[in-house]
Chains A and B, each alone.
Chain A
Amino acid sequence: MSDTNLKEQNEAIKVDTEKGNFTYPENYEFDAGVGLSEDTVKYISDVKKEPEWVREFRLKALDIFNKKPMPTNWATKDLENIHFDKIRYYLSKGQVPARSWDDVPDDVKETFERLGIPEQERKFLAGVEAQFDSEASYSHMKEDLEKEGVIFVGSSEGLEKYPEIFRPYFGKVIPSSDNKFSALNSATFSGGSFIYVPKGVKLKQPLQAYFRINAENFGQFERTLIIADEGSEITYMEGCTAPKFETTTLHSAVVELVALKNAKIQYITVQNWSSNVFNLVTKRGMADEGAEVKWIDCNIGSRLTMKYPGVVLKGKGARGEVLSIALANDGQHQDTGAKMMHLADNTTSNIISKSISIGKGRSTYRGQVHMPKHLKNCKNNTECDALLINTNSRTDTYPAITTRGENNTVQHEASVSKVSAEQIFYMMQRGLSEGEAMSLAVNGFVNELMKAFPMEYSVELKRLIDMEMEGSVG
């Protein structure tokens, strides 16, 4: 990589923890109030002027949400600290997403300007959607893509304008009843993207969504559905930030990917939530014959993240991949992993997970690989490595691999390593500060994996790690 290149990339992406820590006054036209009831759900549906089937879908999901217990039998008890009755479920300025940055309300525009989004769009993106609390305030895609029939709109606009494409797949990869939080999202969803890439269309540049929480005590429930038709290719990137509030904020998204025959979807997340955010997200892709779904998932920040991107390998020869990096700093818990469901012959999956725990930070890896007996020639490779920085850190690994069938192979490797005081001393003797030394060790740990990421995101990730490590030195 050339240096001018690197410098440009650095300038192109200016999103970091401190940069996200600001807020603008709240003045919303639509506010569903505090707490969750049937009325809340109906209010959201009314504001959005939704068809009856969506309204019913929401109410049914609310019922499922109310009946499902918190998964504290296997997950952390910290979930009990989410007070659903104190959260605001819908806040909107009543805007229609602007097609030009000039038309975005000033305070919202300033928010995204400060986060560097318009600049990134100019430099390397094919399209951007920027969501401010519940609704998208900006949505724009390059004209030539529109001409090719690519659809990139918000979820509400998607279900309203393109029901014939939207409806058959919506809620099919991840049913409302999948888990308590997918039910919550199904009841209250707002915002997120709907993308359709027609047959054979290959997007050369990524589409990006940016999620911003501005209001306190707020819950953001975006819903994303991406359909890549036969032989098409798309890369989608999402970034997230929120200001540092004293109170807890909830982010609970559902992302469904559908890769039809021989299509490729790459979904990249760089999450940088502030440490008051509960980030409970369900992400799953379905890969048809010869198709490929790849999740690149980087989790920095948040109070608790629970996220296990999965791929349902439905057609012969389908491929699934999850590459993830999680960084748990003091007081944070990254509970992440991957799921691979092999449902056809000759399917392959690859999981590489790297976690870093600092101070009292905690990382948990949960993996699930499923290969039923009747399948042939399926392969899975799982590598999960943990890096501990100082002795208070904690890391747990819960792999669950069920393999049956004779010609199926599974390979699993796990490692735990530490950054020692002597390594830090060695680096400090060369002139690095303690934070720089730790940051370098962490970057070294994720270095190999980051080579698989698009350049733009590996640069941003490196910056985020540097910021996080600098801040972790007391």
Chain B
Amino acid sequence: MNTLEVKNLNVSIDGQAILKDFNLTIPKGEVHALMGPNGTGKSTLAKVMAGHDDYTVESGEILLEGENILGKEADEISHAGLFLAFQYPLEIPGVSIANFIRAARTARLPEGEEINAVEYYKELYAKMDELKMDRKFTARSLNEGFSGGEKKRCEILQMAMLEPKCCVMDETDSGLDIDALRVVAEGVNHMRSDERGFLIITHYQRLLDYIVPDVVHVMFDGRIVHSGDAELAKELESKGYDWVQEEFVTATA
């Protein structure tokens, strides 16, 4: 069984094609990295998978453990098991982290059922400790006034608490210093399991030093042009994206 299958996905915004016959398969338990230059469609892919309605889907399929999620509402996709760690997490003034995650968990329960608060906090604190987050953070308004690193840790905390089947991480490494990067990577590695798939979208290779991917894909102009193992990321880092264009794009054109 595959965690995620994207088949011949074509997406445009304002009439301009962004994803062009995009294909990607992530088998259960694998971590895939998606790399590529800016403006190549990586973040668009993440948002379309999560059900953002700014984009026009022309054709294609997105299957989460075999079930189509394309065209569903964002909350339905979340319930189906897809989590998106945002590149720019939004600030929600007045809503504490603890209450927000609790609301997200409650939304997954059958109507009328409630969360056991004692167990919930125990779990929340344990996961915060892993991410080296101060427990006082639970009372702070979600992402409000957070540093870049704090926001990203908070995304990983939510991801850990919601236990998704498929984790999509959009440029989680941007804005992180090396210590924060290590902590975030540990958090992700801790979540790796045979049951869960990861798609790590990144511009740089350095996150992949800590989260070693099973497969690395290189994206260019709306589609994956080359795939390889973890070594490919290092090669990309040393040779640059121009190399990709010369080697794979011009060659196949």
Total chain A interface residues with beta-carbon distance under 8 A = 26
Of chain A, the residue at the smallest CB distance from B114 is: A7
Of chain B, the residue at the smallest CB distance from A417 is: B93
Shortest distance between the CB of B122 and any CB in chain A (Å): 13
Chain-B contact segment, one of A273-281, A393-401, A436-444:
A436-444
Q: How large is the interface on B (under 10, 10 to 19, 20 to 34, 35 or more residues)?
A: 20 to 34
Shortest distance between the CB of B103 and any CB in chain A (Å): 6
Shortest distance between the CB of A349 and any CB in chain B (Å): 25
Tell me if A429 and B50 are in contact (CB < 8 A): yes
Q: Is A57 an interface residue (CB 8 A)?
A: no
Of chain A, the residue at the smallest CB distance from B80 is: A431
Q: Is A428 an interface residue (CB 8 A)?
A: yes
Tell me if A444 and B90 are in contact (CB < 8 A): no
Of chain B, the residue at the smallest CB distance from A427 is: B92
Q: Is A169 an interface residue (CB 8 A)?
A: no
How many angstroms from the CA of A260 to the CA of B35 in the assembled complex? 73
Of chain B, the residue at the smallest CB distance from A422 is: B90
Shortest distance between the CB of B214 and any CB in chain A (Å): 25
Q: Is A146 an interface residue (CB 8 A)?
A: no
Q: A3-B117, A425-B52, A444-B141 are in contact. Are A430 and B100 (CB under 8 A)?
A: yes
Tell me if A428 and B94 are in contact (CB < 8 A): no
Q: Is A121 an interface residue (CB 8 A)?
A: no
Chain A residues in 8 Å Cβ range of B89: 426
Q: Is B78 an interface residue (CB 8 A)?
A: yes
Q: A422-B90, A425-B52, A440-B103 are in contact. Are A432 and B75 (CB under 8 A)?
A: yes
Chain B residues in 8 Å Cβ range of A444: 92-95, 141
Tell me if B107 and A432 are in contact (CB < 8 A): yes
Q: Is B183 an interface residue (CB 8 A)?
A: no
Q: A431-B107, A436-B107 are in contact. Are A445 and B117 (CB under 8 A)?
A: no
> Scoring B residues 81 to 93 as 1 if CB is less than 8 Å from chain A, else 0, what string do you get?
0011010011111
Tell me if B141 and A436 are in contact (CB < 8 A): no
Q: Is A423 an interface residue (CB 8 A)?
A: yes
Q: Is A326 an interface residue (CB 8 A)?
A: no
Q: Name the one of B93, B103, B118, B162 contacting A445, with C-beta atoms under 8 angstroms.
A: B93
Chain B residues in 8 Å Cβ range of A420: 90
Q: Is A448 an interface residue (CB 8 A)?
A: yes
Of chain B, the residue at the smallest CB distance from A4 is: B117
Tell me if B94 and A431 are in contact (CB < 8 A): no
Q: Name the one of B51, B93, B117, B158 contacting A430, with C-beta atoms under 8 angstroms.
A: B158
Q: Is A216 an interface residue (CB 8 A)?
A: no
Tell me if B73 and A428 are in contact (CB < 8 A): yes
Shortest distance between the CB of A419 and any CB in chain B (Å): 9
Chain A residues in 8 Å Cβ range of B117: 2-3
Q: Is A120 an interface residue (CB 8 A)?
A: no
Chain B residues in 8 Å Cβ range of A434: 73, 75
Tell me if A433 and B100 are in contact (CB < 8 A): no
Given contacts A431-B107, A433-B107, 10 further A-B contacts (CB under 8 A): A422-B90, A423-B91, A425-B52, A426-B89, A428-B74, A429-B75, A429-B86, A431-B108, A432-B107, A434-B75
Q: What are 17 pairs between A and B in contact, CB < 8 Å?
A: A2-B117, A417-B93, A425-B50, A425-B74, A428-B51, A429-B75, A429-B78, A429-B84, A431-B78, A431-B79, A436-B107, A440-B100, A440-B103, A443-B95, A444-B92, A444-B95, A446-B94
A residues with CB within 8 A of B: 2-3, 7, 417, 420, 422-423, 425-434, 436, 440-441, 443-448
